[in-house]
Amino acid sequence: MLNPKVKKTINMFIVYSILVSLVIICLFPVYFIFIGSVNPGSSLHTSRIFPSPAEWNWGHYKTLFAEHDYITWYRNTMFIAFSNMVISTTFGVLSGYAFSKFRFKGKKQGLMAIIILQMFPTIMGMIAIYTLLGTFGLLDTHLGYILVLAAGSVAFNTWIVKGFFDGIPNSLMEAARIDGASNTDIFLKVMLPLATPIIAFVAFNSFVGASMDFIMAEVILRSSSNWTLAQGLFTLVSGQANNNFTVFAAGAVLIALPLMILFFVFQRYIVEGLTAGAEKG
């Protein structure tokens, strides 16, 4: 029979081996894209996996700004992502709070509608969305695209925020009312501070979703001056004549930077919001 200390050591070795293996598997594609962005040539297939830093070529990053409208694509993407984050988070938090803490006619039906809406991806309504935007003159506009993104995010945000607020005792609201607080004061001064983790998670998720979307952007935004990064970078590798995969990799690395910064800044709140929504939903 194995010594308890030896058994514990073996178990720890197995656990950490699995964890390290998973980290390598998850991070290797990121590393490969970065290495591809600093390798010479235009193909990722010829990229060396472990090149010497002296062989790195940063010319692909210069090409993005010198020969392509990367700054315009980047600016459009950040504007759209930030706008979607503000709109979808605001309406998601307000509606989630209302469904969680108030009683009103049609509440059950509204929750059922939200559940049903989450079952169908936005792309299923592509023809209807295209027709509606054309009717209101919002095709090929950032406003129309932002409205579509926000409308597609509100249902999910509402449900997950409701699950978080369900876990906050109603006694806090009752105590605040006894002290003379109005519904607005309770929401702003009591509930919002407690909901910081779920708000951070919803905001981050909305920002990332808008930054990475391609299909709806391709349907709605037709002018190159309105393109997002996903559309612009796709033109570098689409078609027979476009094979700038290393430049594409450089663009992918740059768009990942703000997302990584946001994640590390709000990491604690994002993790708390995700786990709380899962436990209380």
Is the same domain home to 126 and 41?
no
Is the same domain home to 95 and 227?
yes
Mean pLDDT (the chain, rounded): 84
What is the distance, to the nearest Å, from the Cα of residue 120 to the centroid of all Cα atoms in its chain? 19
Higher pLDDT, 239 or 10: 10
CATH at residue 116: 1.10.3720.10
Domain count, the chain: 2
- pLDDT above 80: residue 66: yes
This prediction's pTM:
0.81
Is the same domain home to 247 and 129?
yes
Is the same domain home to 154 and 211?
yes
Phi first, then psi, for residue 161 (nearest 5°) are -70, -40
Is the same domain home to 56 and 71?
no
Q: In terms of Cα–Cα distance, which of 193, 225, 88 is closest to 146?
A: 88
Range of the domain at 25: 4-61
DSSP letter for 243, please: -
Is the same domain home to 99 and 120?
yes
Is the same domain home to 54 and 79?
no
Instruction: Using CA atoms of 51, 53, 55, 60 in order, give the dihedral in degrees to the nearest 10.
Output: 100
Is the same domain home to 193 and 57?
no
Residue 21 — pLDDT band, cuts 50, 70, 90? very high
Give me the pLDDT at residue 242, please.
59
Is the same domain home to 90 and 134?
yes
- pLDDT above 50: residue 250: yes
Distances (CA, A) of 139 to 27, 111, 143, 146, 275: 38, 31, 9, 11, 38
Is the same domain home to 100 and 20?
no
Q: Other CB atoms closer than 10 Å to residue 132's CB: what's the count?
A: 15
Task: Give residue-wise pLDDT tens across range 181-197.
Answer: 888 888 888 888 888 88
- pLDDT above 60: residue 275: no
Question: Which of 42, 61, 80 lies at the terminal end of a domain, its last residue?
Answer: 61
Give me the pLDDT at residue 38, please.
81
% pLDDT > 90, the chain = 22
- pLDDT above 90: residue 145: yes
- pLDDT above 90: residue 87: yes
Is the same domain home to 43 and 138?
no
DSSP letter for 186, please: I
Give me the pLDDT at residue 280, please.
45
Dig out the tokens for 72 from the structure.
């315009």
Q: What angle do CA 121, 108, 276 make, to 5 degrees?
A: 65
Q: Which 3 state secondary structure label does DSSP give 20?
A: helix
